[in-house]
Amino acid sequence: MKVNVNKDVCIGCGACQQISDDYFVLGDDGYAEVNEKDRGKEVPKEKEDVVIDALESCPVEAIYKEEE
Ligand code: SF4
């Protein structure tokens, strides 16, 4: 599973960062992104649950799964 954030939709609430234990972080622009180390890669198995929690908790559905 790979995930990404649509910054055009994100409102910068920070919920995903808290829920995902910094898998998602707020960038310099104030909007969420995948942290640099994990960006563009498969979500590590041990992070899958919190990443899905964050995806489902985003109030504007800005987080999405990328096509394989
Ligand atoms: S939870 Fe959604 S709206 Fe809030 S910072 Fe994360 S991606 Fe953006």
- Please give the distance, rounded to the nearest whole angstrom, from the Cα atom of residue 28 to the centre of ligand 1: 14
Atom 1 (ligand 1) nearest CA: 58
Provide the β-strand partners of residue 5: 63
- Please give the distance, rounded to the nearest whole angstrom, from the Cα atom of residue 68 to the centre of ligand 1: 23
- Please give the distance, rounded to the nearest whole angstrom, from the Cα atom of residue 10 to the centre of ligand 1: 5
Are 20 and 51 in contact by the 8 Å Cβ rule? The answer is: yes
- pLDDT of residue 49 exceeding 90: yes
Are 3 and 65 in contact by the 8 Å Cβ rule? The answer is: yes
- pLDDT at position 46 is 96
pLDDT tens profile 6-43: 999 999 999 999 999 999 999 999 999 999 999 999 99
- pLDDT of residue 68 exceeding 80: no
- pLDDT at position 16 is 98
Atom of ligand 1 nearest to the CA of 61: 2
* Domains and their CATH numbers in the chain: 3-65 (3.30.70.20)
- pLDDT of residue 67 exceeding 90: no
